[in-house]
């Protein structure tokens, strides 16, 4: 789709050489070249003849004559009330690319049912309340705050975030412990770079777990080692064997298995950190969505001197609102702030103020209560459909969050199920997609524990029912 420029659009860059022959011929040649090279897209409106003549310092008749010539040649078309636009005659030709530059691949067709993990219900994003918050922030923010901000972020938002974390997650961070960042990944990158400067060289990662954590760790200069996850969460005894002094984990609702770190494991983990002078990085990504009881408290409140807690609104509001925070022990805060100062200008100040107002006025809590009911209803449908299609005891990790783990029969090929389901319009990832992999290796599925990771945050109840039935059919079709 061409961009619909208002009022003829921005100025068009055309350079005429008044000592090199006819200006009209030069104008025609440059417009033809722009259309052939697709610098001007099919359907795009050209400037009015009057505006282009003023811009180039030529007579309007020169521009009119050029447009008429291009119209006769089929390069442009003229519609009453719509101006002069680039014709679609070249739309079917492949775009030329410089030598050595690959043409972009055709994007895959969107799935009819997408069980992608980590996407909240985008249709429930509180856009009206967010619009209010942005408007209110714009109205009330002092002009002095529009300059360069504190690299740690808006003090107002840091006050709100830490108060929220203390009240809702049983944390004990203060405003001086908080740094506002543009989402979880940026916060993690800053935290890991800071740990590397403090002499930490190795970090342990949950296996299975998000594979991009390995990449972020290596880019920060740390080597990453896998630690297995079982029914009680991260295996702390195996962690002790790695020689790591840092560990990144999702204790409230492990990604992707869905288990919560057990009470004894939480105590053992803190003891390990004390033994090795280590650091625990807590990804607190969806703890607000707990269905069987009150959410499990943050590890940061259990050991504030050893835990760096990372949070964002990507899973609670929408990924497009790129705001997050890092709550760190005092000895790491300055390093994280310095990373932010050197690598970015921080998250937009108006957005930070908007989020502070959004949370402070109760709109955030109201949104969470509403979507929690939506996710609970989808969870019920998912559990019922999975039991009907695959039998009892196959679905795990439903106590919290917006994803679950569907265990497949032993010996089932995850890859075959995923590929067959994709051909039938269902997108899903196998558990092997989250297995730890080295920089140059792709993890192989474990035939003893094949499983699918089912995100249900952004699929309707009807889509869940349809998707589970298609997955069951995909399994039945395997040889």
Q: Is residue 98 in some structural domain?
A: no
Task: Give me the CATH number covering residue 70.
Answer: 1.10.10.10
- Give the pLDDT of residue 95: 52
Give the single-character DSSP code of 145: G
Residue 105 has pLDDT above 70, yes or no: no
Residue 439 has pLDDT above 50, yes or no: no
Q: Is residue 96 in some structural domain?
A: no
Alpha-carbon span 287 to 285, nearest angstrom:
6
Q: 3-state class of 48 per DSSP?
A: coil
Contact indicator for 299, 251 with CB cutoff of 8 Å: yes
Task: Give me the CATH number covering residue 429.
Answer: 3.90.1150.10
Residue 101 has pLDDT above 70, yes or no: no
Region of 362 (left: φ > 0; alpha: ψ -120 to 50; beta: rest) is: left
Q: Is residue 102 in some structural domain?
A: no
Among 320, 400, 385, 399, residue whose Cα is nearest residue 113: 385
Q: Is residue 104 in some structural domain?
A: no
Tokens 């992608």 belong to residue = 116
Q: Which residues pair with 279 in a beta bridge?
A: 246
Contact indicator for 196, 172 with CB cutoff of 8 Å: no
Residue 40 has pLDDT above 60, yes or no: yes
pLDDT tens digits along 303-324: 999 999 999 999 999 999 999 9
Query: Do 232 and 331 fall into the same domain?
Result: yes
Query: Do 401 and 418 fall into the same domain?
Result: yes
Residue 185 has pLDDT above 70, yes or no: yes
Query: Do 71 and 139 fall into the same domain?
Result: no
Angle between helices 363-390 and 349-360 (to 10 degrees): 80
Q: Is residue 172 in some structural domain?
A: yes
Query: Do 181 and 275 fall into the same domain?
Result: yes
Query: Do 294 and 271 fall into the same domain?
Result: yes
Query: Do 132 and 197 fall into the same domain?
Result: yes
CA atoms within 13 A on the CB side of 122: 9
pLDDT cut 70: percent of the chain above it? 91
CA atoms within 13 A on the CB side of 44: 18
- Give the pLDDT of residue 1: 64
Task: Give me the CATH number covering residue 339.
Answer: 3.40.640.10
- Give the pLDDT of residue 92: 46
**Region of poorest pLDDT, from 73-82, 327-336, 392-401:** 73-82
Query: Do 382 and 357 fall into the same domain?
Result: no
Query: Do 191 and 335 fall into the same domain?
Result: yes
- Give the pLDDT of residue 391: 93
**Region of poorest pLDDT, from 3-7, 62-66, 222-226:** 3-7
- Give the pLDDT of residue 103: 53
Name residues whose C-beta falls within 8 Å of residue 153's C-beta, 6 or more positions apart in sequence: 178, 179, 180, 181, 325, 346, 347, 352
β-strands 76-79, 202-207 pairing: unpaired
Query: Do 169 and 67 fall into the same domain?
Result: no
Q: What is the pTM of this model?
A: 0.83
Q: Is residue 100 in some structural domain?
A: no
Element holding 151 (H helix, E strand): none
β-strands 429-430, 426-427 pairing: unpaired
- Return the higher-pLDDT residue of 21 and 199: 199
- Give the pLDDT of residue 465: 97
- Give the pLDDT of residue 100: 55
pLDDT winner (highest mean) among 166-175, 343-352, 354-363: 354-363
Which residue range is the domain that position 186 belongs to? 126-362
Instruction: Give the pLDDT mean for 416-437.
Output: 92
Query: Do 424 and 436 fall into the same domain?
Result: yes
**Region of poorest pLDDT, from 48-62, 241-255, 456-470:** 48-62
- Give the pLDDT of residue 289: 78
Query: Do 35 and 85 fall into the same domain?
Result: yes
Query: Do 164 and 183 fall into the same domain?
Result: yes
Q: Is residue 328 in some structural domain?
A: yes
Q: What one-character-per-residue DSSP string does 220-239 give? A: TT-EEEEEEEETTEE-HHHH
- Give the pLDDT of residue 352: 96
Residue 425 has pLDDT above 70, yes or no: yes
pLDDT tens digits along 321-350: 999 999 999 999 999 999 999 988 889 999
Confidence of residue 446 (pLDDT cuts 50, 70, 90): low
**How many C-beta atoms surround the C-beta of residue 388 within 10 A?**
13
What integer best gives the mean pLDDT of the chain? 88
Alpha-carbon span 246 to 196, nearest angstrom:
10
Confidence of residue 163 (pLDDT cuts 50, 70, 90): very high
User: How far is CA 265 from each of CA 37, 244, 417, 444, rounded to the nearest angstrom?
Assistant: 61, 17, 34, 28
| Residues belonging to the chain | 479
- Give the pLDDT of residue 88: 81
Residue 231 has pLDDT above 60, yes or no: yes
- Return the higher-pLDDT residue of 248 and 74: 248
The number of distinct structural domains making up the chain is 3
Confidence of residue 284 (pLDDT cuts 50, 70, 90): confident
Q: Is residue 75 in some structural domain?
A: yes
**How many C-beta atoms surround the C-beta of residue 172 within 10 A?**
16
Residue 404 has pLDDT above 70, yes or no: yes
């Amino acid at each position: 789709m061409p961009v619909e420029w208002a009022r003829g659009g921005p100025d068009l860059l055309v350079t005429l050489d008044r000592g090199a022959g006819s200006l009209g011929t030069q104008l025609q040649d440059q417009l033809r070249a722009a259309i052939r090279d697709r610098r001007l897209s099919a359907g795009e409106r050209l400037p009015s003849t009057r505006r282009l003549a003023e811009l180039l310092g030529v007579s309007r008749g020169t521009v009119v004559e050029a447009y008429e010539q291009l119209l006769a040649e089929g390069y442009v078309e003229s519609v009453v009330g719509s101006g002069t636009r680039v014709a679609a005659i070249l739309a079917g030709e492949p775009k030329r690319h410089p030598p050595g530059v690959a043409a972009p691949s055709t994007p895959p067709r969107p799935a009819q049912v997408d069980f992608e993990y980590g996407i909240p219900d985008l249709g429930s994003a509180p856009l009206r309340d967010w619009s209010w918050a942005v408007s209110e922030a714009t109205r009330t923010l002092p002009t002095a705050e529009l300059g360069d901000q504190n690299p740690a972020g808006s003090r107002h938002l840091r006050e709100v975030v830490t108060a929220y974390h203390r009240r809702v997650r049983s944390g004990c961070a203060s405003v001086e412990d908080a740094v506002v960042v543009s989402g979880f990944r940026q916060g993690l990158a800053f935290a890991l770079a800071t740990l590397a400067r403090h002499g930490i060289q190795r970090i342990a990662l949950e296996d299975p777990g998000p594979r991009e954590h390995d990449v972020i760790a290596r880019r920060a200069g740390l080597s990453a080692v896998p630690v297995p996850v079982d029914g009680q969460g991260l295996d702390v005894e195996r962690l002790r064997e790695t020689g790591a002094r840092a560990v990144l984990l999702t204790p409230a609702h492990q990604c992707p298995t869905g288990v919560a770190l057990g009470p004894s494991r939480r105590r053992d983990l803190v003891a390990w950190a004390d033994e090795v002078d280590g650091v625990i990085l807590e990804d607190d990504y969806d703890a607000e969505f707990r269905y069987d009881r009150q959410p499990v408290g943050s590890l940061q409140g259990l050991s504030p001197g050893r835990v760096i807690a990372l949070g964002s609104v990507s899973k609670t509001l929408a990924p497009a609102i790129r705001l997050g925070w890092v709550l760190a022990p005092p000895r790491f805060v300055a390093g994280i702030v310095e990373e932010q100062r050197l690598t970015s200008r921080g998250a937009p100040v108006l957005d930070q103020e908007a989020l502070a107002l959004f949370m402070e006025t109760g709109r955030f809590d109201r949104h969470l209560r509403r979507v929690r009911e939506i996710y609970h209803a989808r969870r019920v449908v998912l559990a019922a459909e999975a039991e009907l299609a695959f039998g009892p005891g196959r679905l795990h990790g439903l106590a919290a969050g917006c994803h679950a783990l569907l265990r497949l029969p032993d010996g089932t090929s995850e890859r075959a199920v995923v590929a067959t389901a994709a051909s039938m319009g269902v997108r899903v990832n196998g558990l092997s997609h989250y297995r730890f992999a080295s920089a140059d290796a792709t993890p192989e599925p474990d035939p003893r524990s094949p499983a699918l990771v089912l995100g249900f945050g952004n699929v309707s109840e009807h889509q869940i029912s349809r998707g589970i039935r298609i997955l069951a059919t995909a399994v039945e079709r395997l040889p």
